[in-house]
Amino acid sequence: MAEQTGGRARTGSGRSLPKSHRTRERILDAAARVLGSKGYAGTRLQDVAAEAGIQAPAIYYYFGSRDELIAEVMYVGAHRVRGHVADVLAGLPAETGAMDRILAAVEAHLRYELLISDYTTASVRNAGQVPDAVRERAVAEETAYSHMWRDLFEHAHADGELRADLDLNLTRFLILGAMNWAAEWWDPKHRTLDDLVASTQTLVLHGLGRH
């Protein structure tokens, strides 16, 4: 079940949020699904409205333009995958080794991108399609996320768990790029997500690790 926001729209006191807020979240959920499947050029507000079960003109009450809506989806996708992976890492036992932390991050990223979040799938698939202005907020999140991975690799290198001849920056970009590209080709009818996670972890462990 892909992550959505509208169905979980609750305040801290347990009360439902206002209808206008729930409608806005339903529009965002619908836009994430449409953007992820049809891409930036193919995303029409009419399709988003149909997916959300509202009239198309109602979208303009919440978002000033198609690009403003898409920009929000892109930002949410980048923000949430960063938060999810950070939460997974924070939940690991304190004695977890640096390489095991990288492997945990690999699994968290792939599962979130491909199974949990329509937003992150849409963000990853459209990163190279949308105009710079639409990506502006998402880019800041992507940069922070890249820095998180930089720290993971640097710690593993300092602990002697990575090959000494690796260029850490190139390695980071290659691994993140390969995982993001999986959104374009992975088909659960041919390979399970467990298979994909295990293969990626094996590639990282034996391609990057000292042993």
Q: Which two tokens stand for residue 175?
A: 């691994």
Average model confidence (pLDDT) for the chain? 89
Long-range contacts of 201-207 (CB under 8 A, 24+ apart): 201/103, 201/106, 201/107, 204/102, 204/103, 204/106, 204/175, 205/99, 205/103
Q: Please determine, for residue 184, whether its predicted confidence score (pLDDT) is greater than 70.
A: yes
In a domain, 167, yes or no: yes
Closest CA to 134 of 81, 70, 82, 80: 70
Helix (H, G, I), strand (E, B) or coil at 12: coil
Looking at the chain, how many residues does it have? 211
- Give the predicted TM-score (pTM) of the model: 0.83
Composition of the chain by helix, strand, coil, percent to 5: 75, 5, 25
> What's the number of domains the chain is made of?
1
* 67: in domain: yes
**Is 29 within a domain?**
yes
Average pLDDT over residues 176-184: 90
- pLDDT band for position 71 (cuts 50, 70, 90): very high
Q: Which of 94-103, 121-130, 154-163, 185-194 has the lowest mean pLDDT?
A: 121-130
Residue 177 inside a domain? The answer is yes
Structural domain of residue 199, as residue ranges? 6-208
52 belongs to a structural domain = yes
Residue 22 lies inside a defined structural domain of this protein: yes
pLDDT at 7 over 60: no
Is 1 inside a domain boundary? no
Region for residue 39 given its phi and psi (left: phi exceeds 0; alpha: psi -120 to 50; beta: otherwise): left
CATH number, domain containing residue 171: 1.10.357.10
Cβ-contact 57, 66 below 8 angstroms: no
